[in-house]
Structure 1
Amino acid sequence: MASQSSSKIVVYAALVGNSLIAVTKFIAAGLTGSSAMLSEGVHSLVDTGNELLLLYGMHRAGKAPDHNHPFGYGRELYFWSFVVAVLIFALGSGVSLYEGIMHMLDPEPIESPMINYVVLGLSILFESGSWYVALRAFRKEKGKLGYIEAIKLSKDPTTFTVLVEDTVALLGLFLALGGVFAAQALDMPVLDGVASVMIGILLAMTALFLARESKNLLVGETALPQVQQAIEAAANADPAIRTVNGVVTSQMGAHQVIAAISAEFEDHLSTPEIEACIARVEAKVRESNADVVALFVKPQTPAMWEERRRQAVKKMQDEEAKAVS
């Protein structure tokens, strides 16, 4: 999992790159009248705002726990990541589609297309630098996992959000470049609008993908399997615990996990001995995984654990059946 400092480096790199690119694209769009270039300018402007929101979310997520939020503010990052996805859809995709359709209905020749070529070339160069920073950080985070699998399992949305944004930005730049070139070469200004519409569709698909991943984190996911396994192993290794019935976890933030262990203790143990065992398990878990901010241990027999699980499953099934009816 990427550290918070490396995630910030990725976001700052994207922020600087997108800010410079947005300004140059808007200047070029004003000078040439290119719809695709204007769409790309809006795209870069939205991306710039998105990086600011991600930085704000990281700042809020780092706040210390208080009375109203005893487990901290980690999920603030997930909320602002979801807002980023909504903005990509509403502003980036919406404006691109609108501009593209308007240009297709009333196409106008592109003035001074060479300006567009220069700006698009520089934008591809700058965007590639930001993309490489994000790619390098995400490759380090994902390990041997595939890219899509790593995104689905990731608990830190900042790195993969920037990587996806930068990837789509590069694709959008090539679409804009193709639209400008085709419109000039074929003397068909309508193709510039077609490129803008394609950029809008690309942004809409990206927004839906990011929104789904952010929503899953926001509503609550379990911790990574290796975290749960480490917690269970730490409990099983203590001689005072006869059986670990199960471990339940919840991801509260990019680097914040709460966990509950159901365990059966040896019968001869006194209350102080059980308390000492719990303290040992807590210390061992935090030693192996600093992301675990809270650990609860519930003494239960295996039969009671299974009965509680059965009741929970039945309640969930009843609620689903009631919702369908």
Structure 2
Amino acid sequence: MAESKVAIYGAIGANVAIAATKFVVAGVTGSSAMLSEGIHSAVDTFNGILLLVGLRLSKRPATVEHPFGHGKELYFWSLIVAVLIFGLGGGVSFYEGIQHIRHPEPMRDPTWNYIVLAAAALFEGVSFAIALREFRAQSRGMPFWQALDRSKDPTTYTVLAEDSAALVGLAVAALGIYFSHSLDMPALDGVASVVIGVLLAGVAVFLISQARGLLIGEGIRPETARAIRSMAMEQPSVENVGHVLSMYIGPDEVLVIVDVNFKDDTPTGDAADAIAAIEKQVRARFPMIKRIFVEASDAPAADTPAVP
């Protein structure tokens, strides 16, 4: 989780460095797109702080009220971050763009806009590179889009998504400012602001969908459940395997319950040895499965569908 903090600190540093500058230049030049970018950077800064809060709270030890710990705290705060991106980042940028389209004002000297956008692109690029490096380290060579879909660490993929949106948003803002000034069409600056708002809303929807699945009890993938079932079936005393119930209770912590049906003549000692062997093999192959419970079942389970 230390790697996740590195990505967050990098993002906060980049956003603090450019948010104030964007607001100042937006006031000087009257650019709607630059104002939207300033809002974007300010929201991203606050979001980074919220992710650090989530990281800290998720590390609290288990209690009687929360026997499995507080790992899901991080998912809650990542949801709050996604909502803020949608409402403050996307909503305010969209509103500002519409207002500028309805009441366009000629842009003053855009030179400072370009200087700030270039500096912002540099800072955001560094932050993106840090987040991408940490994400690739966690993905262990998995294809990028597959790793993004399977990632359960919102601190890394949230920063990665924010920085990606920021870089695209900077390009949109630059184009809006350029065409608005060169074509003497102030409304195009507002159009750029609207596009930035839609972009942020799209990123927010993706993050909300990720957080939702984890908050309501997302489990391991079907292929992982099948692998656990196969390992259990390798034990000579196991007749069949039923449900494989699972749930992520933190970015790198999974709870798994396996229903195992032993042969009728299996001694209690052999069943205990088989259970211990199953637990050891599963933990060795899937380190994120920190808690595994193997339950002996009397009911036949050969036709029981797998529950990932």
Tell me the SS of whatever aligns to 2:108. coil
Q: CA deviation at 1:108?
A: 1.6
Q: Is it true that 1:208 corresponds to 2:187 in the alignment?
A: no
Structure-2 separation of matches of 1:141 and 1:233:
26
When residues 210 and 101 of structure 1 are mapped into structure 2, their CA distance, relative to the original with a 3 A threshold, is same
Structure-2 separation of matches of 1:242 and 1:105:
72
Q: Is it true that 1:153 corresponds to 2:131 in the alignment?
A: no
Q: Is it true that 1:13 corresponds to 2:10 in the alignment?
A: yes
Aligned to 1:178: 175
| 1:198-256 CA-partner distances (Å, limit 9, x unpaired) | 11111111111211122112112121456435533543344443433442221122111
Aligned to 2:139: 142
Letter in 2 for 1:95: V
* Contact 1:262/1:305 (8 A) holds in 2: no
Aligned to 1:107: 104
| 1:296-320 CA-partner distances (Å, limit 9, x unpaired) | 212125625646x69x9xxxxxxxx
Structure-2 separation of matches of 1:101 and 1:204:
15
Aligned to 2:24: 27
Aligned to 1:42: 39
Bigger Cα displacement from structure 2, 9-18 vs 232-241:
232-241
1:132 aligned residue (108, 129, 151): 129
* Contact 2:242/2:259 (8 A) holds in 1: yes
More helix per residue: 1
Tell me the SS of whatever aligns to 1:243. strand
1:194 aligned residue (172, 191, 195): 191
Tell me the SS of whatever aligns to 1:126. helix
* Contact 2:261/2:301 (8 A) holds in 1: no
Tell me the SS of whatever aligns to 2:20. helix
Tell me the SS of whatever aligns to 1:151. helix
Bigger Cα displacement from structure 2, 245-254 vs 218-227:
218-227
* Contact 2:262/2:271 (8 A) holds in 1: yes
* Contact 1:39/1:95 (8 A) holds in 2: yes
Aligned to 1:90: 87
Structure-2 separation of matches of 1:211 and 1:284:
34
Q: Is it true that 1:52 corresponds to 2:67 in the alignment?
A: no
Q: CA deviation at 1:181?
A: 1.1
When residues 263 and 256 of structure 1 are mapped into structure 2, their CA distance, relative to the original with a 3 A threshold, is same
2:229 aligned residue (226, 229, 232): 232
Q: TM-score, normalised by structure 1?
A: 0.86
Structure-2 separation of matches of 1:20 and 1:140:
27
* Contact 2:279/2:294 (8 A) holds in 1: no
Q: TM-score, normalised by structure 2?
A: 0.90
Mapping 1:155-304, distance limit 5 Å:
155-225=152-222, 227-229=224-226, 231-301=228-298, 303-304=300-301
Structure-2 separation of matches of 1:227 and 1:24:
48
Tell me the SS of whatever aligns to 1:263. strand
Unaligned runs of 5+ in 1: 313-325
Letter in 1 for 2:17: L
1:117 aligned residue (111, 114, 117): 114
May I ask how many residue pairs the two structures share in their alignment? 307
* Contact 1:71/1:293 (8 A) holds in 2: no
* Contact 1:230/1:288 (8 A) holds in 2: no
Structure-2 separation of matches of 1:30 and 1:173:
17
Letter in 2 for 1:115: W
Tell me the SS of whatever aligns to 2:138. helix
